[in-house]
Chain A
Amino acid sequence: MSGELLLFYVVAALMVATALSMVMARDLVHGVLFMVGNFVLTAIVYLLLQAPFIAAVQLAVYAGAIMVLFLFVVMLLGARELDMREPLAGQRFWGLALVGLLGALLVFVTGEGVPAAPPAGLAEGALAQAQTADGAWLGADALAALPAAERAALDDLGGFGSPQMVGEALYTDAYHLLPFELVSLLLLVAMLGAVVIAHYPARPGAEAGEESAT
């Protein structure tokens, strides 16, 4: 077992653990902290997937900004013990049953199952077994099969998944430039929307509601 694989197992186990802890947290602050831990571990997995730029963004956006936002809101609303009861009849039973079924299905499919109709260019089960005999990923083969000049250009960019390469795809590809700009607009709208929604003056009834809550 290589060190890399070992690292993956450890990280994966921790991710599952933090995810479970987050979902089952009785205290909101604990939940947020478990979420942050999960996101940091996700960044490590991204690094294992040769995606250093995405890993960096993940750390900055999730483990940084979103975590602060969550913690801020939790603190604003007041942290307290969460009620774990289930008032909706059958919700827990059917929810667990369906979640279990979904989980089994997904694990089964990702483990060895095949899509009934795989996307064009992808053989049956290709994704799960996208490995060559020596354990290398097919993608590496594809890259290796590139003409020498293109290999050189790719290496100049810092290799697959490097920030340079992502930047190249993001800013030079005509198909990505417009969505990129639109997403910036989306962020602006979301920012304004968040301000408007959260800043809306409290209605008279809200006072009584707050009093009863405290």
Chain B
Amino acid sequence: MSLIELLPLVPALPLAGVLLLLAGGRRLPGKAAAWLASGLVGAAFLLSLGIAIEYRGLAAAGSGSEHATPEASAEAPGAAEHAAEAPVIVQTLWRWMDVGADLVEISAARQELPMLEAVPEGAVGPAWFDLRLLDAVEDPAARAGLEAGLSRMWLPEAVVGEMPMQALPAGMLVTLDNVPPAAGRDAATLIVDAPRRERRFTVDLALQLDALSIVMLLVVTGVGFLIHVYSIGYMAHDADIRRYFTYLNLFVFSMLTLVLGAGFLVMFVGWELVGACSYLLIGFWYQDPANASAGRKAFIVNRIGDLAFLIGMMLIWTTFGSLAYGEVLPAAAGQAGTWVALAIPALLLVGATGKSAQIPLFVWLPDAMAGPTPVSALIHAATMVTAGVYMIARSHSLFEAAPQVMAVVATVGALTALVAALIAAVQVDIKRVLAYSTISQLGYMFLAVGAGAYVAGIFHLMTHAFFKALLFLGAGSVMHAMEHGFAHAHAHPETLDGIPPEQDMRHMGGLLGRIPATGWTFVIGGLALAGFPGLAGFWSKDEILFETIARDLAAGRVGLWTLLYGIGSLTALLTAFYTGRQLLMVLAGQPRSAGAEQAADSPWLMTLPLGVLALLSLVGGLVNAQALGIHALADFLAPVLGGHEAEFSALPFIGLAIGIALAGLGLAWWVYGPKRELLAEDGAFVDPIATRLPRYHKAAWNRFYVDELYAWLVVRPFRRSADFLWHVVDEGMVDSTVNGAGRLMAALGGWLRGWQTGYVRSYALSVLAGAVIIALWLFRAAW
């Protein structure tokens, strides 16, 4: 148990890094700060690994020898039976919030306390004394006693005994909670024993350790550590390297808070903190206003989702009286059918679409690529954006109480996957392709959790973290190499369409032979994303698609889920196509610029994490390769997410998926293969899609005008109303009122000033006038 008890240390390590860098970062050399931050995250990863191993032993001991033998693990229902026995370890660090008080049901105490007879049946009063009610107490002695008791925040037993309850209004009080136990058998004790209803809002700062959080823990710290190491090399020459690593550590801490929190509010704190880190890191190079505004865009779009999340949490509290998973989730099924059961997951879904960049709130993620590339890998591909998926998986029992919302989740996911893939297929910015690909893959995860295949969703989350981090880091390495190449060749290529030349795929080509370490790992990542048989992405994506259609197969119908399966498969084809396109444009053929010609591979600090991630992308899918009969991840997660029984043979679908992936890659080879001439006669790059499908290319190139739609729908009315408020309300009404008041006073003052002539006799005349008026009033009785 020793390592599990150290669980709070996992988030504490990166937090310590933040504090150390904040306190002493300036005095540290940049390299030392970077190694310190990376080392702390590495230590957190090792600790997480130890915790995971220990927990696995614990779970195995708890659920018998099931995991030991393949036969037993094949029995999915068996796993479900033992689910309850798998430990959920909650460590409460401290009580974070404690608002309100217990309600005492006075009617219950009535029999034992004759003086309560005057209080109406069923009356419930707060256990503190409402000051406003004090006035209603007529007996001065009792009042004095109450006031004295209030001043000490509790009532002495004598006062409780003598209190004339008849004088008190209904729904009343008695402060009993804090009556000292020495009060004996008297009134106070009796009421304390009476049944009470919790109306107290309490939140514990607690960490929860179970299978789901362990998977997330390993992904976050593991991928986070690799990206830290990579960043040491990538950011080595940046002047703000300390700030960068402070943010990065803060992000890891926040993400760990998000996944380890044992309640919605703690998760929300992490949720907001990762949002803040994302904002800080997107605008890391804030000197360029475009980066800063990209950060703002991400922040503002996320706020929309966060508001819904917040409202959802409030509903959770009013419905379940708690925010802790352990109390809310088991009670969720009991609420099925009520409007709350529908509203809560719907609101949570809106929150998740914001964080995980789903329709309609996905517009921020492509712009988030303004940040440093490792940040794109860590935050905007591997971890933070998956928070929405994690949240839905974590609160799946809430979602299951509302099947309609589940269908919406799946539909949103499938549509997002398709739309993002369509956009990705025409992008030429190496990072933007990956950004849209991320949105698309997140759509798959939503499809999975919407279909109830939480394990598949989390599985894809994990494999995606591997290969997408690999791809982003690879892209960063490519950019690094291109920059080096341009600098070496003293070339200053022009910036096309606002895309920096080093990340413009139109300038690349033929890099595989020049930067082999980056190139080959990039190929592995790309193939994993494309769903190439045997690689990580293949297993997880295939499982999602199979689980989706399995819903309809089980019911023996052709319906929504079949449609979503179709969309998912089409997206898989597109995914393979645009991935192949990217690989070919970057790595194959002839170099299309001096930078590509002279590119040099990155330092080992950058290529080493690429290698590790490539290895994970190769074999990471094997932890849950259903087709091969491996269910390790599913069994591990079953206690949290529920087991799934495969009733049908997945083999035809696996064959189909292999066919689709290969078809997509083949299509890409056919269009962009090394033999194809992609340059026009004047040397400009010509995308074959643009010539063959110009209308689609134009629409997708402009991201289907979603940003323009938002500008028209949201930004324009907002600006209009702001202009209205500014010119008409503020300038026209507020300012003129204020200025008018000022002008009135000035005019009045100018007029009054005229009376101060400086002539004594004028004043005397005024005094005389006053005296006459007073005299007239005094003698008014005379006439």
Contact = CB atoms under 8 A, between A and B. Distances in A.
Check A-B contact in the complex, CB < 8 A: yes
Interface of A: 88, 91, 94-95, 98-99, 101-102, 105, 108-109, 113-117
Contacts of B771: 102
Interface in B728-783: 757, 759, 761-762, 765, 768-769, 771-772, 775-776, 778-782
Contacts of B775: 102, 105
B391 to A, nearest CB: 83
A185 to B, nearest CB: 28
B782 A113 contact: yes
A95 B765 contact: yes
A7 B579 CA distance: 133
A123 to B, nearest CB: 14
Given A101-B772, A102-B771, A102-B772, A109 B779 contact: yes
The A contact surface, by secondary structure, is helix
The B contact surface, by secondary structure, is helix
B769 A98 contact: yes
Given A105-B772, A109-B779, 17 more contacts: A91-B761, A91-B762, A94-B769, A95-B765, A95-B768, A98-B765, A99-B768, A101-B772, A102-B775, A105-B776, A113-B782, A114-B781, A114-B782, A116-B778, A116-B779, A116-B780, A116-B782
Chain A CB within 10 Å, residue with most, of B761, B771, B776, B779: B779
Contacts of B779: 105, 109, 113, 115-116
B765 A91 contact: yes
A109 B782 contact: yes
Nearest to B771: A102
Given A99-B768, A105-B776, A116 B762 contact: no
A165 B780 CA distance: 39
A203 B406 CA distance: 99
B772 A98 contact: yes
Contacts of A116: 778-782
Given A105-B779, A113-B779, A88 B768 contact: no
20 contacts: A88-B757, A88-B759, A88-B762, A91-B765, A94-B765, A95-B768, A98-B765, A98-B768, A98-B769, A102-B768, A102-B771, A102-B775, A105-B772, A105-B776, A109-B782, A113-B779, A115-B779, A116-B778, A116-B782, A117-B778
Contacts of B761: 88, 91
Contacts of A102: 768, 771-772, 775
Interface of B: 757, 759, 761-762, 765, 768-769, 771-772, 775-776, 778-782
A114 B768 CA distance: 21
B781 to A, nearest CB: 4
A203 to B, nearest CB: 20
B762 to A, nearest CB: 6
Contacts of B776: 105
A108 B768 contact: no
A95 B762 CA distance: 9
Contacts of A88: 757, 759, 761-762
Contacts of A95: 765, 768
A102 B769 CA distance: 9
B765 A115 contact: no
Nearest to A86: B761
A102 B776 CA distance: 9
Nearest to A101: B772
B86 to A, nearest CB: 96
A116 B772 CA distance: 15
B765 A108 contact: no
A131 B86 CA distance: 117
Contacts of A114: 781-782
B74 to A, nearest CB: 111
A88 B755 CA distance: 13
A101 B762 CA distance: 17
A88 B779 CA distance: 31
Contact of B778 (A91, A99, A101, A115): A115
A91 B765 CA distance: 8
B1 to A, nearest CB: 94
A98 B339 CA distance: 82
Contacts of B768: 95, 98-99, 102
A163 to B, nearest CB: 35
Contacts of B778: 115-117
Nearest to A102: B772
Nearest to A114: B782
A95 B765 CA distance: 6
Contacts of A117: 778
Nearest to A108: B782
B756 to A, nearest CB: 14
B140 to A, nearest CB: 42
B328 to A, nearest CB: 79
A54 B778 CA distance: 31
Contacts of A94: 765, 769
A13 B768 CA distance: 26
A189 B685 CA distance: 107
B761 to A, nearest CB: 6
A78 to B, nearest CB: 22
A88 B762 CA distance: 8
A104 B762 CA distance: 22
A186 to B, nearest CB: 23
Contacts of A91: 761-762, 765
Top 4 A-B pairs, shortest CB-CB distance: A116-B781, A113-B782, A98-B768, A102-B772
A94 to B, nearest CB: 6
Contacts of A108: 782
Chain B CB within 10 Å, residue with most, of A98, A115, A117: A98
Contacts of A109: 779, 782
B768 to A, nearest CB: 5
B155 to A, nearest CB: 57
A94 B759 CA distance: 15
B377 to A, nearest CB: 87
B607 to A, nearest CB: 95
Nearest to A113: B782
A89 B780 CA distance: 31
Nearest to B776: A105
A99 B779 CA distance: 17
A108 to B, nearest CB: 7
A112 B772 CA distance: 18
A109 B783 CA distance: 11
B709 to A, nearest CB: 74
Contacts of A98: 765, 768-769, 772
B283 to A, nearest CB: 70
Nearest to B782: A113
A105 B774 CA distance: 12
A115 B779 CA distance: 6
A171 B510 CA distance: 126
Contacts of B772: 98, 101-102, 105
Contacts of A113: 779, 782
Contacts of B762: 88, 91
B771 to A, nearest CB: 7
A91 B769 CA distance: 12
A109 B762 CA distance: 27
B95 to A, nearest CB: 72
A94 B772 CA distance: 12
A94 B769 CA distance: 9
A101 B765 CA distance: 13
A114 B757 CA distance: 37
A192 B761 CA distance: 28
A71 B701 CA distance: 109
A101 B769 CA distance: 10
A180 to B, nearest CB: 30
A98 B771 CA distance: 10
A114 B779 CA distance: 7
A116 B780 CA distance: 7
Contacts of B757: 88
A95 B772 CA distance: 12
Nearest to A106: B775
A108 B776 CA distance: 12
Contacts of B769: 94, 98
